[in-house]
Amino acid sequence: MNDKYEYKKIFGDLESEESWLTEMSEKGFVLKDVSGAFLKYKYSFEPCDKKYVYRVDYNNEMPVMEEITSPYVMFVTGTYGAEYVMCRQGKVYFRKAADEGDFPPVYTSPESRLAAEKKKLLQDVVFFILFFADIFWTIDLDGLAMYLALRSKLFFVKIAAALICVVCAAVCVRGAYIHCKKIREIKCLMK
Amino acid sequence: MPESFDRGALTEAVYYVLLSLFEPNHGYGIMQKIEEMSGGRVKLGAGTLYGALNTLCSKKWIKPLNEFSGGRKKEYVITEFGKQAVYDEIKRLKELAENGDKIVGGMDHE
């Protein structure tokens, strides 16, 4: 029965994720966990009678903090009376019971929304560069040539690793594309 | 740079945050005061308010009062630089409003 409460989804921006989570809560399901990687994330839910409003933000704390003690998390819970749900995939999730009053959107000015998107894009690009620098550093070409010659099973392992790299690259590029699109969208709004 | 200053004018969020800090205030108080001042029109979101506070701190327009007490009830107050920025902004806004009034003031708008 458990798989009934799992959804695989990917969102273009924070706002659509927020409204989907809030919608799910209205239907009687609260978010339990977000897992998975690559192109689709798995959202698991559990039944709950209480209705919540969800807000999602990028986890911009450097270094990336997972704990509830991050200054930003403390600020949001303290200032807005919201509840910290979790940090997953570079995003931080908050919720507030719908009957406990207003929980305004995370970014209420286009300037701050734009800044957040730009910061996230920069972070992703840095991550992307570090990731590939690491990969190329570790692949040893002599070894690869030897595997080619021997056609051992390890060769296929390397090929698989290379394929995974390509997929990762695609994911990174897609992420960057989404952020760029969003940045353009907000800039249009500001004109 | 969560709130930009490069246009010379202050953003609404920054302007209201500065105004609300003429008396020491913490996050929740700032939010409440801004909502009250604007008659419920301006409600600052968590990311916007947090960004504005951090940017203003790094520009030394506001300063934290109790530096070591940690996140939850951290209080801020405006500095002399901040006050100057507010005075300049009020002057600019007055000019805008006066010029607007000169052109369309006599008309029965709305």
Strand ranges in B1-110 using DSSP code E only, listed in sequence order? 25-26, 62-64, 75-78
Angle of the A110-138 helix axis to the A153-190 helix axis, nearest 10:
160
Asked if residues B72 and B58 have their Cβ atoms less than 8 Å apart, the reply is no
Residues of chain A in contact with residue B42, where contact means CB-CB under 8 angstroms, are 108
Judge if pTM exceeds 0.90.
Answer: no
Stronger pLDDT, A116 or A148, i.e. the higher one: A116
Q: Reply yes or no on whether the pLDDT at A59 is more than 60.
A: yes
In a domain? residue B5: no
B58: contact with A, CB 8 A cutoff: no
Q: How many domains does chain B have?
A: 1
Q: Where are the domains of chain A?
A: 2-100, 110-190
Residues of chain B in contact with residue A72, where contact means CB-CB under 8 angstroms, are 50
* Closest residue to A112, CB basis, from B13, B26, B27: B13
Task: Answer yes or no: do B51 and A116 touch at CB < 8 A.
Answer: yes
Task: Answer yes or no: do A109 and B12 touch at CB < 8 A.
Answer: yes
If phi over 0 gives left and psi between -120 and 50 gives alpha, with beta otherwise, what is residue B37? Answer: alpha
| Structural domain boundaries, residue B81 | 12-103
Q: Considering only alpha carbons, which residue of chain B is nearest residue A58?
A: B47
Query: Which pLDDT value is given to residue A13?
Result: 84
Q: What is the mean pLDDT of chain A?
A: 81
pLDDT (tens digit per residue) in A66-105: 566 678 888 888 888 898 998 887 888 999 998 888 899 9
Query: Which pLDDT value is given to residue A55?
Result: 93
Give which of B44, B58, B74 to mutate to test A binding, by max A Cβ within 10 Å: B44
Name the CA radius of gyration of chain B, rounded.
16
Q: Reply yes or no on whether the pLDDT at A29 is more than 70.
A: yes
Rounded to 5 degrees, what angle do the CA atoms B38, B40, B43 make? 90
* Closest residue to A108, CB basis, from B28, B45, B72: B45
How far does the CA of residue A105 sit from the closest CA of chain B (Å)?
5
Question: What's the CATH number where B92 sits?
Answer: 1.10.10.10
pLDDT (tens digit per residue) in A106-140: 999 888 888 888 888 888 888 778 877 777 667 66
B7: contact with A, CB 8 A cutoff: no
Q: Residues in chain B with pLDDT < 50?
A: 1-2, 4-7
* Closest residue to B45, CB basis, from A74, A78, A104: A104
Task: Answer yes or no: do B47 and A104 touch at CB < 8 A.
Answer: no
HEC profile of A30-98:
EEEEEECCCCCEEEEEEECCCCEEEEEEECCCCCCCCCCCCHHHHHHHHHHCCEEEEEECCEEEEEEEH
| Token output for B71 | 């996140």
Cis peptide leading into residue B24 (ω within 30°): no
Query: Which pLDDT value is given to residue A177?
Result: 84
Q: Reply yes or no on whether the pLDDT at A1 is more than 50.
A: no
How far is the CA of B8 from the CAs of A89, A101, B11, B93, in angstroms? 37, 36, 9, 12
Asked if residues B61 and B85 have their Cβ atoms less than 8 Å apart, the reply is yes
In a domain? residue B85: yes
In a domain? residue B108: no
- The secondary structure of residue A105, as a DSSP letter, is -
Residues of chain A in contact with residue B72, where contact means CB-CB under 8 angstroms, are 74-75, 77-78
Query: Which pLDDT value is given to residue B39?
Result: 93
| Token output for B82 | 């901040």
- The number of C-alpha atoms within 13 Å of B6 and in the hemisphere containing its C-beta is 4
Query: Which pLDDT value is given to residue B16?
Result: 95
* Closest residue to B28, CB basis, from A79, A112, A116: A79
Cα(B18)–Cα(A125) distance, integer angstroms? 34
Residues of chain B in contact with residue A78, where contact means CB-CB under 8 angstroms, are 27-28, 71-73
